[in-house]
Structure 1
Amino acid sequence: MSTILVTGGTGTLGTPVCERLRADGHEVRVLSRHSPPYAVDLREGGPLLDRAVDGADAVVHCSNILRGDREAARLLLDAARRAGVPHLLYISIVGVDRVPRRYFRTKYAVERMIQASGIPWTLLRATQFHDLVLQLLQLLAKPPVMPLPKEVRVQPVEVTEAAARLAELAAGPPAGRVEDLGGPEIRPFPDLARAYLRASGRRRRIVEVPLPGGVYRELRRGGHLAPDRAVGRVTFDEFLARRFGAS
């Protein structure tokens, strides 16, 4: 079996990726800031990064760095080139080339860096994870009135399904950009909010608010959705039932 390095291997996505790879019989190296023997801050690089990539058959780049993502990618790509890594996989987001959000633009820039790196690569874009949608709803539910962007739909996908797909791709040859991974349902944001409130036993008044700007316009158009790739199986309601217990 292969030796596979997973950056961000202790995170929301990285953890199930590592678990799936180990279950499939691969040797897994976990790279994160607080995970020896490869405790590396990707924004700084250094000898431990070189040691982590040395001899790896594939690198799965799951790190999600809000500030410094491009620099982290540059240092990782430099180390991977020095080590002659034969396969680098990157998880990105559906709509990074359409939604003019700063974070999306950064992810898209990293995509282009990988494609131009000279390292054989695979790129998978996914819609928003259930966990991220839940975190956003929990934040919005803090005040008595829950404001939601008007006429925005969401297509959440289960993180373990994304992890399984990444593990499958890591075991194969570089495939370029593969088909997107979308959740099984496209639902209005208020619909997901009501499902969350029911599951968590909270009461909030939901108010839909129109927002200014290009990001909101593209979200209303569905630029972050993958209706033709609704291949996920776990619904948001099923995710909530597991998280909060069936009602």
Structure 2
Amino acid sequence: MTTTPILVTGGTGTLGSHAVPLLRAAGRTVRVLSRRERLGADGIEYVTGDLMTGEGIDAALAGVGTVLHLAGGPKGDDEATRTLVRAARAAGVRHLVYISVIGADRVPLAWLRTKLDAERAIADSGIPWTTLRAAQFHDLTLTMIEKMTKLPVLPVPGGLRLQPVDSAEVAARLVELTLGEPAGLVPDMAGPEVHDIAELARPYRELRGARGRLRVPVRIPGKAGKAYRAGANLTLEGAEKGKRTWEEFLAERV
């Protein structure tokens, strides 16, 4: 077993819950950064720290050779990443792996700009790095569809298509990259199929035994809408494709 710990931020989230056990199965010592105190178990150490304030981050990075940065949210990812980069550089980290989003450099939305700024902070850090951009996870797509299908009518944003990908498959790819050599920006990872909102909602409603609902076309305004209609959130060629389909995910989850 390699004793130098890998620090995982966001290790208790959707991706982290898949990635941490895979790192342990590979024989690696894992240290998980959490904002709340947790008891260690099964060879996993939990350390407390806050990437927004920097509190506890230096201690969390002590002796760490590789960081898998999965922590993220609707805002503040750029600041949190810059805090991590400063501490990682001071700690002598030799590989920083980051999960970003397909379209971060093409879709003009504020939260995607923070992802792109985080990418740039890592690339400019002087630390050897690897960044993977992934499509929207099945889990998040399901949350969106559940909310939309509760409305009196089903809004169908014109031209919006998604390539939902399985979070467990993304986690497996990230672990592979984490255990490998720094590779810079690697090919995007997307799901095996492209769907519009109506196509995503149909199998969900069928599994729930719901009746058909009136669809209302909705136009996404502004530059973001133009980018989505142009498919800027998709990678149709050159992406690494997951195998688990949206329908397979729904059959297990719903």
* TM-score normalised by the chain length of structure 2: 0.92
User: How many aligned residue pairs are there?
Assistant: 243
Shift of 1:134: 0.8
Give the 3-state SS of the residue equivalent to 1:38 in structure 2: strand
Task: State the distance in 1 between where 2:37 and 2:143 align.
Answer: 25
Q: 1:11 is matched by which residue type in structure 2?
A: G
Distance 1:136 1:175 in 2: 33
Provide the secondary structure at the position in 2 that maps to 1:227. Answer: coil
Superposed CA RMSD: 1.3
Which runs of structure 2 are paired with 1:173-184 in the superposition (5 Å)?
173-184=181-192
Once the two structures are TM-superposed, the CA of residue 150 in structure 1 deviates from its matched residue by: 1.2
**1:40 corresponds to:** 49
Q: Which residue of 2 aligns with 1:168?
A: 176
Q: 1:196 to 1:230 in 2, by over 3 A?
A: farther
Pairwise CA distance, 1:200: 2.7
SS state of the match for residue 89, structure 1?
Answer: strand
- Write the letter of the residue equivalent to 1:161: E
Map of 2:15 onto structure 1: 13
Note the alpha carbon deviations across 1:200-233, whole angstroms, 9 max, x for none.
Answer: 3334333221221111111111111111225110
Shift of 1:142: 2.2
Matches within 5 A, 1:1-247: 1=2, 2-36=4-38, 37-46=46-55, 48-203=56-211, 204-228=213-237, 229=239, 231-244=241-254
In the alignment, the residues of structure 2 paired with residue 157 and residue 86 of structure 1 have an alpha-carbon distance, to the nearest angstrom, of: 29
In 1: Cα distance, 2:152 partner to 2:177 partner: 44
Q: Secondary structure at the match of 2:100?
A: strand
Contact 1:185–1:230 (8 Å) recurs in 2: no
Give the C-alpha shift of residue 35 in structure 1: 4.4
Shift of 1:52: 1.3
Q: Which moved more, 1:202-211 or 1:181-190?
A: 202-211
CA–CA distance in structure 2, aligned partners of residues 35 and 186 of structure 1: 40
Amino acid at match of 2:229: R
Task: Tell me, in whole angstroms, the C-alpha distance in 2 between the residues paired with 1:98 and 1:67.
Answer: 18
Give the letter aligned to residue 214 of structure 2. R
Partner SS, residue 5 of structure 1: strand
Q: Confirm or deny: 8 A CA contact 1:33 1:39 kept in the other structure.
A: yes
Q: Which moved more, 1:54-63 or 1:222-231?
A: 222-231
Q: Secondary structure at the match of 1:77?
A: helix
Consecutive unaligned residues of structure 1, counting only runs of 5 or more, are none
SS in 2 for 1:125: strand
CA distance in 2, matches of 1:71, 1:119: 17
- Distance in structure 1 (CA, Å) of the matches to 2:234 and 2:87: 34
Which runs of no fewer than 5 residues in structure 2 stay unpaired? 39-45
> Which structure: greater strand fraction?
2
**2:43 alignment partner in structure 1:** none
Q: Which runs of 4+ in 1 moved over 6 A?
A: none
Q: Would the aligned equivalents of 2:11 and 2:71 in 1 still touch at CA under 8 Å?
A: yes
TM-score under structure 1 length normalisation: 0.94
Q: Deviations over 1:126-169 (max 9, x none)?
A: 11111111111112122221212112111000000000001001
Q: Secondary structure at the match of 2:48?
A: coil
> Distance between the aligned counterparts of 2:140 and 2:232, measured in 1?
18
Residue 5 (structure 1) shift: 0.8
CA–CA separation in structure 1 for the residues paired with 2:17 and 2:153: 35
SS in structure 2 of the partner of residue 31 of structure 1: strand
